[in-house]
Amino acid sequence: MLIREVITIEASLEVVWSVFTCLEDWEKWNSVCQAAFKKDSTGAKACSVKPISQGDCISFAITPIIFPIRIRPRVTKCIPEKEVVWEGARLGIRAAHTFTFTRNEEGYVVVTSTEKLRGPGLVLSRLVFVPSRLHQLTRQLLFALKEEAESRALSGSAIED
């Protein structure tokens, strides 16, 4: 199964990238991925304000149906200001989520979210409408990213690395 969504953000690539890759700030703007953090080698919350990067293990909770589910993917690819891919498995579903960041002709940022899901858990998840809910959550995440990045661009308050 494939979930794909695209949004254009009227902000610089640097601002959009900064907003997206700083997990410690997600609580301020991201209502889809709650309690997000990077994990250390023991699986505990890491004390780090660095942006996500390849090899990082991250953790966040989403609520595709009634109860929240903690997701613990690994960032398998991270090309600064171009692409982030994280992969993981939960409840019989294996997912690879890719976010690409490109500039359009106007200089704005086009963010494309593509999530590929597979595994035996998909059969049951379709019965309770999880795929359509995940698509809604993807739209919600991208819209929140847009709002936060455009707000920071207007105020000039991009996070500096």
Average pLDDT along the chain = 87
**128-155: pLDDT as tens digits:** 446 678 889 999 999 999 999 999 999 8
pLDDT at 6: 98
Over residues 46-86, the pLDDT tens digits come to 655 688 999 999 999 988 777 888 999 999 999 999 999 99
CA-nearest of 105, 38, 108 to 75 is 38
Nearest to 109 by CA among 2, 6, 21, 25: 6
How is domain 2-155 classified at the CATH fold level?
Alpha-D-Glucose-1,6-Bisphosphate; Chain A, domain 4 (3.30.530)
Q: What is the pTM of this model?
A: 0.87
